[in-house]
Structure 1
Amino acid sequence: MESRPSRRSLLGALAIGAGGIGAGTVLGRAAASEPEPREVDSSDAAPADVAAPIPAVGEHQAGIAVPANPQPFSLTLVADLPNVADVSFLPSVGERLLAFLGDDAHDSGDLTVTVGVGPRVVAAVDAALPGAEPLPAFDGDTELPGERVGGDLLMIASASDPTVLPSVVDALLETVPGGEERWRQFGFRGPGADGIVRNPLGFHDGIIVPRGEEELAENIWLRGDLRTAGGTIAVIRRLRTDVRAFGRLSVVEQEAAVGRRKSDGAPLSGGGQRDEVSLSAKTADGQYVTPVGSHARAAHPGPTGSALMLRRGYSYAEGADMGLVFTCFQRDLRTFVATQQRIDEQDEMMRYVTTTASASFLVLPGFDQGRPLGATLLTA
């Protein structure tokens, strides 16, 4: 493997790649083969602040449901391919990542990298496969630049140490012949538990998501076709938020736009943070307790008959440009499409949100030493 850049150069690359910040198969630290046993003394011990590794291989990619509480930092990259019919590079991407993570000179900690392919790539394999259908145009995406719509390759690298993210993403992109970066975005998350953190508008996010193997199997993981089973469908949306304008609202007005309390995330209709909002509860004078134009009502899966999404969003800040890299995973693209269409129709909070990038991807099934990354597509 080529020599690694210094920590100082990594910090410089991060600042350039991120534009400055204000504040799986996802893989953990694993080698392609088991290392020889050796004696370990105290000098070999990992520093106390190095996060525990995430398993590199398995039925599903990491960075989706594992870890349950996402890492504090993430770098999302979307790239184009010169030949969408050629996915022969995918095993090399997995091998390069395993080699990167298995290098003892690199403290990767809880690094994960999730890899997906875009609709053009999937359709070139089989147009009937999940993920072959692109996102439709949405009424609310009036300022969405064309160069940030779609893409052929997705990589999401996440870790507790942000300095490792640019180098691993760049190293993986080097294994893709002719791969050309379309856009990238660095993101960060505040402290939280069980995947719940505050978003750029100051409200809790990630409250109602599938948890546990049964709910994940029902809502997230693809099944049936062996070429995609164990994968999922990802939607990536870069959302610029007008934090200043939203902040000028009173807390009562903000809560009416969101449908939950700002202090603890509990529904305006009552209960605790993890409770569902009530769409039918009314006040004494006949008004809905969860306002008609609230985000909680518009995004609720009940009216659309949709499944649940697993959301793993990351905030970003580049000068006055602040927002969210919204990432969600679902078994059926319709889950997101139906929800977004309803949001465009009635969500008052969207007046403070502008979409600046949008794409969907088939996140590949997990892999191991006997089944390389992307092998199921290659053997179709």
Structure 2
Amino acid sequence: MAKEASGISRRALLSSGGLAALGGALAACAPGEPAPPERVADGVQPVPPMGEHQAGISVPTAVQPHLLLGVYDLEGDTGTVLARIGESILALTSGDHPALAGIAPGDLTVTVGVGPRLVQQVAPDGPGTEPLPAYPREEIDDRHRGGDLVIQVCASDPLVPPLTLAAVLENTPGLAERWRQRAARGPSVPVRDGHSAPRNVLGFVDGIAAPVTPDELAESVWIGDGDLAGASILVVRRMEIDLPAFHRLPVAAQEGVIGRERASSAPLSGGAIDDDVNLQAKSPDGKYLIPVDAHVRRAHPRPAGVPLMLRRSYSMDDPLGLLFVSYQAELRTFTQTMERMSESDALLDFTRTTAAGVFLALPGFDAQHPLGSTIFGAS
């Protein structure tokens, strides 16, 4: 059974209004903490690290262009390690941490998840205890599969993620690195109010269909009950892409692989970028407008019988490919989608996955309620 921090559950904390004052703007630091700068260069706004959910999942809505993600094994007391990481996050995002050497944190976010081995110790039957299954087109050794801890650092300034991660690791004994990956996102393309998505290395807009509204996020992304309320299931997969082979295809064939027009991002079934794909639409000669093995068909949530997942994927240049990152309330949202894709997704013919893991992205925290304390206890 999961431990409760300081004798108060997360549900009680939320219902009592303990986070209401905090969420009254989610912009104020706890008493005695340095306030983050109100604005930094180029109009980049700081992202408050405290709240019901961790920053870096559904906020900011305009996702930062630079990411550094690391996966680690953990030795020692889990609650103590997580609390120290949370202290580092609060200090680094405050704008008053020597590790950034005078560089403004800007829209820095640090998102932390724990692997199945650790979750099983405190909640053996709860979400986050299942390992990620193996799938076709994987070439993953033991070091690059699974792990106890993931730290995802995002920012607009490319200097901020490596300096931030170095500072977190320096202040946190007991972490042994398995692997890390840097990645980036190009300029975002407007999809609809409150949502935009970038083009990936293939040249197509990535992440068009996504939960955006509070109701959509509650249905698709957040775990809603118990000590895990406010948490989410994080899946990460590092996929190398044979980009030269994909680019040798004529544009029309590339569009058939994806199921969207490359230039406009409109679905091949017709409409605009924000229109849902019509999986039943056919040409006058009876052929599906969206091919039967197109990525948007195989990854569509409706045939899989699952909600939308929230994707925060980034393109890579070393190795060339895509760092797939998704958040969902249940692992089955990912696994049932991946099962359909594995059957016949034309895009997967150009990929090989070289690292993968699933983690419980922890609930939000603040200075009085340390990171992970509702699950692993206060340090």
The normalised TM-score by structure 2 is 0.86
Kindly indicate whether the alpha-carbon contact (under 8 Å) linking 1:80 and 1:153 is maintained by their aligned counterparts in 2: yes
- The aligned counterpart of 1:223 is 224
Matched, 1:148 2:144: yes
Q: 306, 327, 334: which is aligned to 1:329?
A: 327
Kindly indicate whether the alpha-carbon contact (under 8 Å) linking 1:32 and 1:102 is maintained by their aligned counterparts in 2: no
- The aligned counterpart of 2:81 is 89
Render the CA deviation track for 1:132-183: whole Å, top value 9, x for unaligned. Answer: 1111111332x22232000110111000101011121122123333210111
Cα distance change on mapping 1:253 and 1:125 into 2, 3 Å: same
- The aligned counterpart of 2:10 is none
Using the alignment, how far apart are the partners of 1:228 and 1:338 within structure 2? 23
Kindly indicate whether the alpha-carbon contact (under 8 Å) linking 1:53 and 1:111 is maintained by their aligned counterparts in 2: yes
Alignment of 1:279-294 (within 5 A): 279-294=279-294
- The aligned counterpart of 1:251 is 251
Structure 1 unaligned spans of 5+: 1-27, 38-43
Matched, 1:67 2:63: no
Kindly indicate whether the alpha-carbon contact (under 8 Å) linking 1:29 and 1:102 is maintained by their aligned counterparts in 2: no
Kindly indicate whether the alpha-carbon contact (under 8 Å) linking 2:30 and 2:366 is maintained by their aligned counterparts in 1: no
Q: 111, 134, 149: which is aligned to 2:108?
A: 111
- The aligned counterpart of 1:138 is 135
Kindly indicate whether the alpha-carbon contact (under 8 Å) linking 2:38 and 2:46 is maintained by their aligned counterparts in 1: no
Kindly indicate whether the alpha-carbon contact (under 8 Å) linking 2:137 and 2:351 is maintained by their aligned counterparts in 1: no
**Of 46-55 and 290-299, the range deviating more from structure 2:** 46-55
Cα distance change on mapping 1:47 and 1:172 into 2, 3 Å: closer
Alignment-mate amino acid for residue 208 of structure 1:
A
Give the count of matched residue pairs.
Answer: 342
**Of 93-102 and 129-138, the range deviating more from structure 2:** 93-102
Kindly indicate whether the alpha-carbon contact (under 8 Å) linking 1:29 and 1:110 is maintained by their aligned counterparts in 2: no
Q: 348, 354, 357: which is aligned to 1:356?
A: 354
Matched, 1:301 2:294: no
- The aligned counterpart of 2:169 is 173
Tell me by how many angstroms 1:221 deviates: 0.3
Using the alignment, how far apart are the partners of 2:244 and 2:65 within structure 1? 24
Matched, 1:49 2:47: no
Tell me by how many angstroms 1:34 deviates: 4.3
Render the CA deviation track for 1:166-205: whole Å, top value 9, x for unaligned. Answer: 1211221233332101111111110014331111111111
- The aligned counterpart of 1:198 is 199
Tell me by how many angstroms 1:35 deviates: 5.8
Using the alignment, how far apart are the partners of 2:34 and 2:332 within structure 1? 48
Kindly indicate whether the alpha-carbon contact (under 8 Å) linking 2:234 and 2:325 is maintained by their aligned counterparts in 1: yes
Kindly indicate whether the alpha-carbon contact (under 8 Å) linking 1:117 and 1:154 is maintained by their aligned counterparts in 2: yes
User: Per the alignment, in what secondary structure is the counterpart of residue 356 of structure 1?
Assistant: strand
Tell me by how many angstroms 1:36 deviates: 8.3
Cα distance change on mapping 1:29 and 1:110 into 2, 3 Å: farther
Using the alignment, how far apart are the partners of 1:135 and 1:36 within structure 2? 40
Using the alignment, how far apart are the partners of 2:40 and 2:201 within structure 1? 32
Using the alignment, how far apart are the partners of 2:365 and 2:196 within structure 1? 25
User: Per the alignment, in what secondary structure is the counterpart of residue 122 of structure 1?
Assistant: helix
Structure 2 unaligned spans of 5+: 1-25, 97-101
Percent identical pairs in the alignment equals 46
Tell me by how many angstroms 1:103 deviates: 4.2
Cα distance change on mapping 1:103 and 1:211 into 2, 3 Å: closer
Alignment-mate amino acid for residue 210 of structure 2:
V
